[in-house]
């Protein structure tokens, strides 16, 4: 098992999301790897937790990464969050993202959970499954 590609994969995801014009149109460029201190915008995207499991074989060290991408909004209703989630899927689902180490074999949408949280906050947590190899 190798967790060695986690940073390179996270960097690739963040770069793809933060540089996409369609997603920027939906969230005003508010894509975070770590949430800033102070007030947050009404609608934003944040990279969330991940779970990793071994996918090594005789030929290569690799892993499966289940990655969370979170859309959060204080807007009434889920519409703006769902539009942002759709833009995220357009960017990530089956994307061929360049990595600074190793290679991304596959990246697919796995599931999503949309919930109303405390107060008027709405949150969509999407899980994407990535397969990486350390070449």
Q: Whole-angstrom Cα distance, residue 108 to residue 91?
A: 11
- Summarised one tens digit per residue, pLDDT across range 45-104 is 999 999 999 988 777 789 999 999 999 999 988 999 999 999 999 999 999 999 999 999
Q: Output the CATH code of domain 6-74+107-134.
A: 3.30.2000.30
Q: Whole-angstrom Cα distance, residue 103 to residue 25?
A: 29
Each domain of the chain, given as residue ranges in start order, spans 6-74+107-134
- Summarised one tens digit per residue, pLDDT across range 16-51 is 999 999 999 999 999 999 999 999 999 999 999 999
Q: Are 63 and 132 in contact (CB under 8 A)?
A: yes
Whether the pTM exceeds 0.85: the reply is yes
């Amino acid at each position: 098992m190798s967790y060695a590609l986690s940073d390179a994969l996270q960097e690739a995801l963040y770069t793809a999301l933060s540089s996409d014009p369609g997603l920027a149109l939906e969230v005003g460029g508010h894509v975070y790897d770590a949430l800033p201190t102070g007030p947050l915008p009404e609608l934003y995207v944040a990279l969330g937790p991940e779970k990793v499991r071994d996918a090594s074989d005789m030929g290569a060290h690799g892993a499966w990464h289940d990655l969370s991408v979170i859309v959060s909004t204080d807007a009434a209703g889920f519409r703006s969050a769902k539009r942002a989630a759709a833009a995220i899927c357009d960017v990530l689902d089956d994307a061929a993202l360049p990595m600074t180490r190793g290679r991304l074999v596959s990246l697919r949408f796995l599931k999503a959970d949309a919930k109303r949280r405390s107060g008027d906050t709405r949150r969509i947590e999407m899980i994407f499954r990535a397969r990486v190899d350390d070449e």
